[in-house]
Amino acid sequence: MKAIFISYGQAYNEEIVELLEECGQRGFTRWEDIGGRGSETGIPHYGNHAWPSMNNAVLTIVEDSKVDSIMEKLRRKDEQFGDLGLRAFVWNIEQTC
């Protein structure tokens, strides 16, 4: 099993959940209204007067067979709307209970 952590601009909120559902992934945890700034490009998301937008994040635990499909769809979405900010990371899951 793998964990996919997805950080994204709020504008993507429902689209990320729909993308997971399209890939047959039901379970996830979402954090809303989190701040951040991309390491290379993109605008800050601080929720203040100068930078009013915010980020959300999703953590989902998936079967290995779903990772490539989810990551490819996320890559395409980021390429299409790069200014909104979207990053995804995959980690190994050692145990669950």
Give pTM, 2 decimals. 0.90
User: How far apart, in whole angstroms, are the C-alpha atoms of residue 45 and residue 26?
Assistant: 27
Residue range 52-80: average pLDDT? 95
User: How far apart, in whole angstroms, are the C-alpha atoms of residue 39 and residue 27?
Assistant: 28
φ, ψ of residue 9 to 5 degrees: the values are -65, 145
At the topology level, CATH places domain 1-29+55-97 in: Alpha-Beta Plaits (3.30.70)
User: How far apart, in whole angstroms, are the C-alpha atoms of residue 19 and residue 96?
Assistant: 24
DSSP state, 51? S
Hey, where are the domains in the chain? Answer: 1-29+55-97
Q: Which pLDDT band holds residue 90 (cuts at 50, 70, 90)?
A: very high
